[in-house]
Chain A
Amino acid sequence: MLRDFGTVEPGSLSGPYDLCVAGTGPAGMTVALKVAAAGGRVLLLEGGGLGPTPESRAVYEGRNVGTVPYGHIETCRLRQFGGTSGHWAGRCAIFDRVDFEQRDIFDLPGWPISYDETYRHLDEAKSILDIPDAELTLEPATPWAEGPFRIGAYAMSPPTRFGVKYKAELEASGNIDCLYNANVTDLRLDENGERISAVVITGYDGREEIVEAAEFVIAFGAMENARFLLNANTQRTEGLGNQNDMVGRTFMEHFNVDFGKVLTTDERFWSEFVEEDGRTPPLMPTVAKMQDADIGNGIITMISAAQQRYYGRLAPYREARRAIICGVKPLRARVQENDSSLTCKDEYFIGTLTEQVPNRESRILVDPDDRDQFGKPKLLLQYEVTDQDWKTIESHAFELGKLLAGKDIARLRVREGLLDRTIGVGAHCHHMGTTRMSDDAKDGVVDKDCRVHGIPNLYMAGASVFPTGGGVNPTLTLVSLAVRLGEHLNAKAGRL
């Protein structure tokens, strides 16, 4: 059943439920559907409406107090039915096996579960994301796959909008009670202070309902998962799961650095190395390169400047100027020396997705001086980048430059801001790591089963549990883990 919390008769929610899931994005909805399909009775809660609303968006307000700019706290995330799947691009890929190994570049332990365990439910996750037949193994045999790079493999989901795909199923479901405009504002511990006993739901009119359940899953996205645990401090002053001061730490993104411009010098670049859409395939560093150079993972794609279009009143002038200048080599050389914004159609932009190492100082905090409409401190991001991260970005750039020059098909000009580290590191809206998975409670927030250390019936879902971020888009991995969590909860309750 799918209902607006504002229309629910006070006191009519009849707990205890087998499971309460907070958040209707890809992770939360996947867990809820998995448990309901096995016969579990689920309360699924969404703070936003069926579509975007100003009062819901306001809950996601926050600011960055770190040393590295980050302008995507509010724009990346959607607080509505279906969560951020409402505007994701749909790119799906799986992590490398090497991402699951302990690497020297990490100051913290890596994944406590294996690649095979993480992707035990990959086929189910692919079906959920509507890419059932996608082949996602790395391809070795292409002209690019020599020296320091491999070709990454990915598939494009339609993209799956969870709020659209599953709305009818939720409306018809007898096992899932799904409420929107139902803000989860707190969790209550039992009288022993050991287990979660109930969830506090607050409407936009201030009305509160307290509903009991046996198990609880928080799936708000990595930023909000941390803010929620830190703000759930009515019975534990440090917040839930934060006894080791790890909640919110190791916030990770994927860097998106346009680190230079590629000038093609040989027609082989187009005929042999570029795909039909004017892009190169995604290049990923080899495992040997990562290990030898102590660098992180990532993807580099080159995108033809021929796709660039000018807009506005001066567009015809700019097009003409580009055509004339770019057509005459000596002039072009002189102009481009002084005007880096002039791109000719035989040039390529660089698109990157680069791994950020887990760093305790890059973190989510809360702001006691600025509260949302429910009286909860708003989000503070302290975004930080390490020398290791810059080393990875720089190494990826130089290795690409070497590859192009070595094949004599193009030359890369690295941006000055990369060399002096003044260039922006960009973002992909891939928020990860704030309730990281660890064997030892001092190194993370959840255990191998995504259960919060020290609280036997509280679980976290989504990319917040990633101990490291790898070098690919996270959605397929987080959905795989959500299926796994659903299976765990079913097994725990004897529903299998």
Chain B
Amino acid sequence: MADQSLLKTFGDQTKAVAASVSDMPTRRKVLLGGTAIITIGAIGLSAASGESSPFIRAAKDTPRADIRDLGDGFFLVDGWVLTADDLERAGE
């Protein structure tokens, strides 16, 4: 469900950006185009790694010793307040 929402948001934003591009001066178009190319390249590089949510990634990368137990089955991991299930998912 969350993915669909993201796609919808992404789609809406892309349309909005496209609409605004036609009114931009040339320098801005070049800037925007360059950004898009760089970004798409970065997507290609990073997509291969198959990353998941940023908090799951944080849980994967955080040493166990740096995880703080907040009680009631919750943990503080690199600033994220996570559940035991989140930590389990990160360990898979």
The residues of A with any CB-CB pair to B shorter than 8 Å are 260, 263-267, 270, 316-317, 319-334, 336-337, 344-346, 398, 400-402, 404-406, 408, 411-416, 419
Residues of A contacting B82 in the complex (Cβ-Cβ under 8 angstroms): 405, 411
Q: Do B50 and A330 touch (CB < 8 A)?
A: yes
Q: Check A328 against B47 for contact (C-beta < 8 Å).
A: yes
35-92 of chain B: CB within 8 A of chain A = 35-36, 39-40, 42-43, 46-47, 49-55, 57, 70, 72, 74, 76, 78-83, 86
Whether the Cβ atoms of B46 and A334 lie closer than 8 Å is yes
* Cβ 8 A contact of B9, one of A319, A337, A345: A345
> Quick check: B51 and A330 within 8 Å, CB to CB?
yes
Contact status B5-A346, CB under 8 Å: yes
B61 CB to closest chain A CB, in angstroms? 9
Of A264, A326, A337, A400, the contact of B10 (CB 8 Å cutoff): A326
Give the shortest distance, in Å, between B11 (CB) and chain A (any CB).
8
What chain B residues lie within 8 Å of A344 (beta carbons)? 9
Q: Is B46 touching A330 in the complex (CB atoms < 8 A)?
A: yes
Instruction: Name the contact of A322 in the complex, choosing from B7, B13, B20, B47 (C-beta under 8 A).
Output: B13
Q: Can you give 20 contacting A-B residue pairs, CB < 8 Å? A: A260-B79, A265-B53, A266-B1, A267-B2, A267-B5, A316-B21, A322-B13, A323-B13, A324-B35, A324-B40, A325-B39, A326-B9, A329-B53, A331-B47, A333-B51, A334-B51, A344-B9, A398-B81, A411-B81, A414-B79
- What's the Cα separation between A414 and B7 when bound, in Å? 26
Within 8 Å by CB of B39, from A270, A324, A404, A413, lies A324
Q: Which residues of B contact A324 (CB under 8 A)?
A: 35-36, 39-40
Contacts of A330 in B (CB 8 A): 43, 46-47, 49-51
A400 to B76, CA, bound (A): 13
Q: Provide the main secondary structure of the chain A interface.
A: helix
B60 to chain A minimum Cβ distance, whole angstroms, is 11
Cβ-defined contact, A402 with B72, below 8 A: yes
A85–chain B nearest beta-carbon distance, Å = 39
Which B residues are in CB contact (< 8 Å) with A334?
42, 46, 51
Contact yes or no, A320 B32, CB < 8 A: yes
Question: What 3 pairs across the A-B complex have the smallest Cβ distances?
Answer: A401-B81, A327-B10, A323-B13
Contact B2 A266 (CB under 8 A): yes
- Minimum CB–CB distance for A321 against chain B, Å: 6
- In the complex, what residues of B have CB within 8 A of residue A320's CB? 17, 32, 35-36
**Contact between A316 and B17 (Cβ–Cβ < 8 Å)?**
yes
Contacts of A264 in B (CB 8 A): 2
Given contacts A330-B49, A331-B46, A414-B76, 5 further A-B contacts (CB under 8 A): A267-B1, A331-B47, A402-B72, A405-B86, A416-B79
CA distance A120 to B47 in the complex (A): 64
Distance (whole angstroms) from the CB of A446 to the closest CB of chain B: 42
Residue of B nearest to A148 (CB): B72
**A327, B14: Cβ atoms under 8 Å?**
yes
Residue of B4, B7, B55 with most chain A CB atoms under a 10 A cut-off: B55
> Are A328 and B43 in contact, with the CB atoms below 8 A?
yes
In the assembled complex, which residues on chain A have CB atoms less than 8 Å from the CB atom of B2?
A: 264-267, 346
Which has the most chain A C-beta neighbours within 10 Å: B5, B54, B74, B78? B54
